[in-house]
Structure 1
Amino acid sequence: MKMERLSQDKIRIFLTFDDLTERGIHKDDMWREIPKVHELFSEMMDQAYMELGFDATGPLAVEVLASPAQGMVVIVTRGRMNFSHADDAMDDEVEEVYELEVTMDETDQITYAFHDFEDLLRMAKVVNPLLIEGGTLYSYKNKWILVLDAVEMEDKRLQSIVAVLSEFGEAASVTQAVLEEYGKTVIESDAIKVLCSKF
């Protein structure tokens, strides 16, 4: 489990499928109201408080984005709580409350970020024989972001590709819509093939 602070009131948590398996949770369980998922969420909030100083009391908006090979990205946004203090006796007894608004989404895209162009090229040479076609390359916030579509890929090939991507880059949770809006499209299609033929 990896986490980072995005702003004062927002954090991002990366959960691998191993993180879920260790806790006896299947990917589909994240969509259900079961005690194990509540325990996992409490554990995530405790860790967020210890590592990032993120206080999760009050209303929270939780977005869960599942990816076929990368695991899950959980984005937690803290809202502002407005208590009306009509009853002073209640002030002392305000307990910690998780008021959750959960949004679930699933994507068939694999998104990886590379800090160094050389790492991107080395990855492309290794992954090229595994990939038939596809891939879009963006430049965003001083990183190279590669987006691959996993819809047509068989499981074994997908796992191999993700293993190579993980060796040279890191999983990214930025969506393609954000990349198209705020990033710069470097190679629109067949990015891996283009990188291998041009460099």
Structure 2
Amino acid sequence: MKVEKIHDKKISVFVTILDLKERNIDIFEFYPQSSKVQALFLDILEEAYLQQGFETENSQLFIETKPIPSHGLYISVTKFDNEEELEEDYSSGYIIHKVEELFFNSTQKNVRHELVFSYPNIESIEPCVKFLSSYCFENTSLYQLGEKYILTLVLSNVYNQRTYSKITAFLTEYGIQEFFSIAYVDEHGKTLLGNKAIEGLKKYFYFPYENKKS
């Protein structure tokens, strides 16, 4: 899919018929409540960030769709803080009040709870390491993607949604929750610590201090 930036607060995206078929989405049954449509929106926001630097964190989104029979679907996304900012008649589309809720609604339907957070440098991750050490994860990995350090976490199934939310809230204090898929980061990023990144980070941060004390 190709993302076009209209202005700082609006993008348009053309999704082809092939893209929709691959996701098993009917062009004339495009409902925002559908988990398949929500997953598509997350991919659109990911591409918008990667291609155009279009940030949606802490913004509400106004979505308009226009089907082009036999070709695909045009989708426009406008971010805003309050409805007075919208240039369009917002009765012609629908509003997503929190991108974070869209992400959570999509991930909670999966067996695995995945989290992806970015940090400007390795040191920014240190406050999170001790906190995360008290939880069990199926996988934790650390990547470098551009100038960012990306920490990916796959939470064990033994935890409920409340625990997922607690971990997300804590990590948000120190990093930025990203909407990349872990598969995307694994393909495009440079792996620094694979599989058991939390254990590796504990050694990186705390072993040097312990050696100094002894």
Is 1:140–1:179's contact at 8 Å kept on the other side of the alignment? Answer: yes
| 1:135 pairs with 2:140 | yes
- Name structure 2 gaps, 5 residues minimum: 13-30, 38-60, 65-76, 89-95, 206-214
Change (3 A) 1:141 1:71: farther
Tell me what 1:181 maps to. 187
How far did residue 150 of structure 1 move? Answer: 3.0
Q: Distance in 2 between matches of 1:191 and 1:119?
A: 15
Aligned-partner SS, 2:173: helix
Match of 2:170 among 164, 168, 175: 164
Is 1:133–1:193's contact at 8 Å kept on the other side of the alignment? Answer: no
Tell me what 2:74 maps to. none
Sequence identity percentage: 20
Tell me what 1:30 maps to. 33
Matched to 1:31, the amino acid is S
Match of 1:118 among 115, 123, 135: 123
Deviations 1:105-143 (A, max 9, x none): 645311111112111122112221234563111110111
Matched to 2:34, the amino acid is W
- Name structure 1 gaps, 5 residues minimum: 1-5, 13-27, 34-38, 56-63, 74-103
Deviations 1:21-72 (A, max 9, x none): xxxxxxx962299xxxxx9636x63739x9x9999xxxxxxxx9xx9xx432
Is 2:136–2:156's contact at 8 Å kept on the other side of the alignment? Answer: no
How far did residue 184 of structure 1 move? Answer: 0.4
How far did residue 149 of structure 1 move? Answer: 1.2
Tell me what 1:194 maps to. 200
**TM-score computed with the length of structure 2 as normaliser:** 0.47
Matched to 1:114, the amino acid is Y
Match of 2:102 among 68, 72, 85: 72
Q: Distance in 1 between matches of 2:174 and 2:79?
A: 31
How far did residue 173 of structure 1 move? Answer: 1.1
How far did residue 154 of structure 1 move? Answer: 2.3
Q: Distance in 1 between matches of 2:118 and 2:143?
A: 9
Matched to 1:164, the amino acid is F
How far did residue 178 of structure 1 move? Answer: 2.1
Q: Show structure 1 runs of 4+ deviating over 4 A.
A: 9-12, 52-55, 104-107
Tell me what 2:154 maps to. 149
How far did residue 151 of structure 1 move? Answer: 5.2
**TM-score computed with the length of structure 1 as normaliser:** 0.51
